[in-house]
Chain A
Amino acid sequence: MSILIQIIIYGLSLGMLYFLLSSGFSLIFGLMGVLNFAHGSMFMWGCYLGYILSLSTGSFLFGIIGAAVCIGVMGLVMEKWLIQPLRGNQLRQILLTFGLIYVLEELAKVIFGTRAYMQFPPEWLSGSAHIFSETVPQYRLFMIFAGVIVFLLMTLLLKKTKLGMIIRAGTDKPRMVQAIGINVARIFSITFALGCALAGLGGAIATPFLGAYPTIDMEQVFNAIAVVIIGGVGSFTGAFYASVILGFISYITSYFVPELSMASTLLAMLVVVMIRPNGLFGGKTSEN
């Protein structure tokens, strides 16, 4: 019984982390067709900025929100100067974002050094909670809470607002949206910034759990890729379910076979590619 609760809480919190990481990746890819390999780097910068902002202001909440805003602005700049000029040329966009991984990683090493930063959760989250006689860290519960809140807010945004409607329409029929006179370039900028902000938020929330260190970008971008492949492109709820599934797979393997923990998400992804190339939860076809 106790191990079951442990697996549920730990797996779910890991899944929420993957969701925060990959929801923006999936959103950008679904709408714009831009495969932003530098998404993990955005996450890493979110880790660093969250750490520094919450340390300098003394407020953890300010740290995570500040990190999200900063990375959002970073995404806006990146979209404007690097992604937009190459619009329509998917290959060059992919290669460019692949190169950006190294620019952002080396830049982080220059500024923050190569050491790992450890951050303690704020006092009001550092205790432990009791669920059915099982003791779990409060921070894990906070991660689940944050993931669910972001999921609900994003679902509201996508289903109930005009922007969300345009994003959903643009994901399905981009040409049609342009044809009825919507400024697609502006929507792309907003979506890209939003996706990056989500990565920054995820990074800042992950720091007390994972720490901030230079290779975290590569480790995490593969989780984002795995989520998108398993969840299906352009499917926001698909990304949510896929994240939860991967969270459980990842936690269960790291519990029983620690050596495989880093490879488990990649293996799960390859299995899905073999069985259902379009992902488990529909979405667009892989022809796109």
Chain B
Amino acid sequence: MKTKNKLVLALALLAAVLVVPALIGSSYIHSIIITICIYSIFAISYDLLLGYTGIVSFGHTVYFGVAAYVVAFTTVKLHWPFLAAVGMVIVVCVAISFIFSLVTLRTKNVYFSMVTMAIGQLFYVMSTKLYAITGGDDGLPGVKSIFPNKTVFYIAAVLILVCVYLFSKRLVNSPAGRVLQGVKENDARIGMLGYNTFKFKSIVIQISGLLAGLAGILYVNLNGIATPSILNSSMTLQILFMVILGGVGTLHGPVIGAAIMQIASIVLSGFTTRWMLIFGIGFVVVMLFFPKGVAGVFDRFSQPNQLRKE
């Protein structure tokens, strides 16, 4: 009964999100919600690593940025059709994430964080220096959106987000997802039980890389340009903040976090150009006092009787 209510509620919410702005919303509001969807997908992909597998990667923007660059380069410079570009993104993201996991999974915990951060920076440096491919600091402009107008894009973005959410939910509740959560709790013990933890981690890095790549494809469709700023580590901070603000280890948390961040950045940037300062302070405060994020606070109120698993 309860799950049925939840399902009805979710469907009603989805219908409202789809129908209401599609009828009355301006193109500007559509863009904002599309952006929220894109960052939600990106944040969910990050939470699969951070919240469910306990992998703290500071190089996750690599897939997002590279996907955007691949689409921009193949469609603008090589005049490929969009679907071919998407195919290329899949190949590149899987290849990069495979190599990424080969290099980084040799290290553990803190080392892993350092190495992933360095790889992220390496891609950022390359994007500014490899002028022939990336256009340097100016980026690669001129990507045409495949969606005829913002309303269609908007509906597509919401539906893709829902698909990604459902896919991730299925994934984390599958037997493989349980193994991943076991890896988070105790890597060595899962290894002792006979699971090849390297393989599981490598696979989740690749899945998460693909999802981040999907977000990158949508991003470049919306903005029409790929610039080095999407590979910058401040992007990592933003995505990290979305996941942590919303709630680590939940799938609705990243969506909440992405929405809060996006709306906050629009509001704050109206007041000051240094809005990253406010974000940074907010991040530090959340880290100090609310490590479970908004979803954690919410859960605490909605399930007072359940023993919370730590």
Contacts and interface: CB of A to CB of B under 8 A. Distances in A.
Interface of A: 29, 33, 35, 37, 82, 85-86, 90-92, 94-96, 98-103, 105-107, 109-110, 218, 222, 225-226, 228-229, 259-260, 262-263, 266-267, 269-270, 273-274, 277, 286-288
Given A92-B291, A102-B237, A229 B114 contact: yes
A277 B277 contact: no
Given A102-B237, A103-B277, A90 B110 contact: yes
B108 interface: yes
Contacts, number: 115
Given A91-B56, A273-B103, A229 B281 contact: no
A107 B277 contact: yes
20 contacts: A85-B288, A91-B56, A92-B287, A96-B284, A99-B287, A100-B280, A102-B277, A103-B280, A106-B274, A109-B274, A110-B277, A225-B114, A225-B118, A229-B115, A263-B122, A263-B125, A266-B121, A266-B125, A274-B103, A288-B110
Contact of A102 (B103, B109, B276, B291): B276
B155 interface: no
B134 interface: no
Nearest to B291: A92
A33 B283 contact: no
Interface of B: 56, 58, 103-104, 106-111, 113-115, 117-119, 121-122, 125-126, 129, 233-234, 237, 240-241, 244, 274, 276-277, 279-281, 283-284, 287-288, 291
B220 to A, nearest CB: 24
A110 B274 contact: yes
B114 A35 contact: yes
B281 A98 contact: no
A218 B115 contact: no
A37 B122 CA distance: 17
Nearest to B273: A109
A9 to B, nearest CB: 26
Given A226-B118, A229-B111, 5 more contacts: A29-B110, A98-B240, A99-B241, A102-B277, A286-B108
Most buried by B among A92, A106, A288: A106
Nearest to A274: B103
A213 to B, nearest CB: 16
Contacts of B237: 98-99, 101-102
Contacts of B281: 103
A273 B279 contact: no
A26 to B, nearest CB: 12
Given A90-B109, A226-B118, A270 B277 contact: no
B103 to A, nearest CB: 6
Contact of B122 (A92, A266, A287): A266
By Cβ-Cβ distance, the 3 closest A-B pairs, closest first, are: A106-B277, A99-B283, A102-B280
B118 A266 contact: yes
B111 A94 contact: no
B280 A106 contact: yes
Given A85-B288, A95-B287, A103-B281, A259 B129 contact: yes
Contacts of B241: 99
Contacts of B103: 270, 273-274
A269 to B, nearest CB: 6
B73 to A, nearest CB: 19
